[in-house]
């Protein structure tokens, strides 16, 4: 591994971008070597520190991804699907570890990421926190232990600026529940009921999205049957925990072979 791998943060003006840049700068194991924004963004050409409202850092915000990735060992990317699939190609060309936190990716986007992972390490997770990744394991185990008389519903709450639903985390939890039950999520998924929906289908997994204020991220998995309910939940109250997970993934990825990985791999939680 390079002694102190260089990191480029994409979407650096975003909620997660700022958090990630701050965490990389605090780290004594990684070095911030690039800060990226889209062409035409106000921050392009400005010093990152000044753009963030602080002291000068000597790092200029840029818009040329390939040039930035070429001097990095890792790219940390919490942006939007259209950007992330482009970055996956470019990070693979630069042989940089691509840590993807972006959610709302389509099947086609996932395929492009899969292709890019032939040439480079990609770590992707809808949630980079230890707590949520543990919760997916617990969800899978509980779902495996219960029969289809137990209804499974996933409720997620986020801030009012979030653009995708269900959240990436809710989908991770849904996948874990479906895996525990031995079914395919896309065959049993019920999203956002409205109107005369008919009775609940046994065996289905429901998703519900709450959007309001500045909620960082809350997830609950509800298992309900006649006479009893189990609720398991996770509350994130600080975005720094997602950023720290992403930094961990960037470091871990330095020693891996090209391929697709997730946070269970990084955290050593895979069975
Ligand atoms: N996996 C995890 O643990 C977590 C994942 N997320 C996910 O991360 C993503 C970002 O979240 P958040 O920071 O809140 O969102 P923001 O909207 O605050 O930030 C997104 C950033 O990406 C930039 N961006 C968007 N499209 C492009 C593009 N085509 N090229 C370059 N830059 C682009 C935006 O620029 P502009 O403003 O110009 O559009 C903005 O700076 C979401 O998908 C969210 O769900 C969030 C938290 C944790
Ligand atoms: O957009 C967010 O903010 C978050 N997105 C991720 C998701 O879609 O699950 C993770 C976290 O909940 C915050």
The CATH number that applies at residue 189 is 3.30.360.10
For ligand 2, whether the C-beta of 169 sits within 6 Å is: yes
- The verdict on 43 and 103 lying in the same domain is yes
Q: Which atom of ligand 1 is nearest to the CA of 129?
A: 3
- Catalytic residue status for 231: no
- Catalytic residue status for 158: yes
| pLDDT tens-place values along the chain, 271 residues long | 668 999 999 999 999 999 999 999 999 999 999 999 999 999 999 999 999 999 999 999 999 999 999 999 999 999 999 999 999 999 999 999 999 999 999 999 999 999 999 999 999 999 999 999 999 999 999 999 999 999 999 999 999 999 999 999 999 999 999 999 999 999 999 998 999 999 999 999 999 999 999 999 999 999 999 999 999 999 999 999 999 999 999 999 999 999 999 999 999 998 7
- The verdict on 85 and 60 lying in the same domain is yes
- The verdict on 253 and 196 lying in the same domain is no
- The verdict on 14 and 72 lying in the same domain is yes
For ligand 2, whether the C-beta of 166 sits within 6 Å is: no
Number of structural domains (the chain) is 2
- The verdict on 162 and 101 lying in the same domain is no
Which ligand gives the minimal distance to the CA of 214?
A: 2
In a domain, 1, yes or no: no
For the full predicted model, state whether its pTM sits above 0.95. yes
- The verdict on 118 and 180 lying in the same domain is no
For ligand 2, whether the C-beta of 168 sits within 6 Å is: yes
Range of the domain at 169: 130-236
Query: What CATH number is associated with residue 57?
Result: 3.40.50.720
- 3: CA distance to ligand 2 center in Å? 31
The per-residue pLDDT for 1 is 65
- The verdict on 194 and 223 lying in the same domain is yes
- The verdict on 251 and 226 lying in the same domain is no
Q: What is the 3-state secondary structure (H, E, C) of the chain?
A: CCCCCEEEECCCCCHHHHHHHHHHHHCCCCEEEEEECCCCCCCCCCEHHHHCCCCCCCCEEECCHHHHHHCCCEEEECCCHHHHHHHHHHHHHCCCEEEECCCCCCHHHHHHHHHHCCCCEEEECCCCCHHHHHHHHHHHHHHHHCCCCCEEEEEEEECCCCCCCCCHHHHHHHHHHHHHHCCCHHHHEEECCCCCCCCCCCCCEEEEEEECCCCCEEEEEEEEECCEEEEEEEEECCCHHHHHHHHHHHHHHCCCCCEEECHHHHHCCCC
Which ligand gives the minimal distance to the CA of 263?
A: 1
């Amino acid at each position: 591994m390079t002694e102190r791998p260089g990191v480029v943060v994409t979407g650096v003006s975003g909620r997660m971008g700022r958090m990630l840049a701050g965490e990389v700068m605090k780290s004594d194991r990684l070095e911030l070597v690039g800060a990226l924004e889209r062409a035409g963004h106000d921050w392009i050409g400005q010093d990152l520190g000044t753009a963030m409202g602080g002291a000068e850092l000597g790092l200029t915000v840029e818009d040329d991804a390939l040039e930035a990735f070429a001097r990095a060992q890792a790219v940390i990317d919490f942006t939007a699907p259209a950007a992330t699939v482009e970055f996956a190609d470019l990070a693979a060309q630069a042989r940089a570890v691509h840590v993807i936190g972006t959610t709302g990716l389509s099947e086609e986007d996932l395929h492009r990421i899969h292709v890019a992972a032939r040439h480079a390490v990609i770590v992707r997770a809808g949630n980079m926190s230890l707590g949520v990744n543990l919760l997916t394991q617990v969800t899978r185990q509980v779902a495996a232990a219960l029969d289809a008389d137990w209804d499974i519903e996933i409720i997620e709450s986020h801030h009012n600026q979030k653009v995708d639903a269900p959240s990436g985390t809710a989908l991770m939890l849904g996948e874990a529940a479906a895996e525990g039950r031995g079914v395919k999520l896309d065959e049993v998924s019920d999203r956002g009921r409205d109107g005369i929906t008919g009775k609940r289908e046994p065996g289905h997994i429901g998703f519900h999205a709450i959007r309001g204020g500045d909620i960082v991220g809350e997830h609950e998995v509800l298992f309900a049957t006649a006479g009893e309910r189990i609720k398991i939940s996770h509350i994130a109250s600080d975005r720094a925990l997602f950023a720290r997970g992403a930094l961990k993934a960037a470091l871990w990825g330095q020693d891996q072979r090209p391929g697709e990985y997730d946070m269970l791999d990084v955290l050593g939680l895979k069975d």
